[in-house]
Amino acid sequence: MPSYDRNNVFARILRGELPCRKVYEDEFALAFHDIRPLAPVHVLVVPKGDYVSNADFAASAPAEQVAGFWRAVGRVAHELGLDSPGYRLVANHGPMSGQSVFHFHVHIFGGKAMPHDMTRLPEAHAKA
């Protein structure tokens, strides 16, 4: 895994240097719409802190940060109205997974039925 690059795109969004379509923010996390949605709802939740991946976050983040981050993920999904129809969480770790931004993040996919095959992501969502 690469070491943490403080100029990765999510770090820059967190610092307000790049824009995003914000969904939610608290002291632990920021959530915003993915720039290339793969489902009708495709939101990214990123922790506030310099964590490359889930392994890094799980091993290094203070317990309060881990709890606060995962509560934010649940709250965002709830506020997006996804609890009842359901949603999928994905966190890519490392190049073989397809991780392309090396600041830990969780994808929330919703708004359509998804294949049960967990190796298949939702197909690209064409915006009207």
By the rule CB under 6 A, 56 interacts with ligand 5GP: no
Residues 31-50 that bind ligand 5GP (CB under 6 A): 32, 34-36, 44
Q: Catalytic: 105?
A: yes
Residue 16 burial (10 A CB sphere; 0-12, 13-18, 19+): exposed
Angle at 48 between CA 107 and CA 124, to 5 degrees: 20
By the rule CB under 6 A, 89 interacts with ligand 5GP: no
- The residue (of 65 and 92) whose beta carbon lies closer to ligand 5GP is 92
Q: How far is CA 86 from CA 4, 64, 117, 122, in A?
A: 33, 27, 16, 14
Residues noted as catalytic: 105
User: Which residues bind to ligand 5GP, rule: CB under 6 A?
Assistant: 9, 18, 20, 32, 34-36, 44, 92, 98-101
